[in-house]
Amino acid sequence: MDYFEINNDFITEDKPISRNVSYSRRERHINEKEKMLMSKFNMGYSELVKNLVQEKYEEVFRNKRFI
């Protein structure tokens, strides 16, 4: 399926971005934590990651002034 966006009378292809996450043996406990968070907030994995990134971004850059 192709995704298109009309922008200033031009049609540009706008495909979704997809990324993979790899876990080593020592990081597999993170999967249980993900499952618990997904259950608590009633979200899927993708939505959880996006929300956590947005929250962290706001926390880190909230009061920063860029010169």
pTM of the model: 0.67
pLDDT tens per residue across all 67 residues of the chain: 555 556 666 666 678 888 899 999 999 999 999 999 999 999 999 999 999 999 999 988 887 665 4
**Dihedrals phi, psi of 11, to nearest 5 degrees:** -105, 120
Q: In sequence order, what are the residues at sequence separation of 6 or more whose Cβ sits closer than 8 angstroms to the Cβ of residue 14?
A: 3, 4, 5
* Residue ranges per structural domain of the chain: 4-61
Spatial distance between the Cα atoms of 1 and 20, rounded to a whole number of angstroms:
20
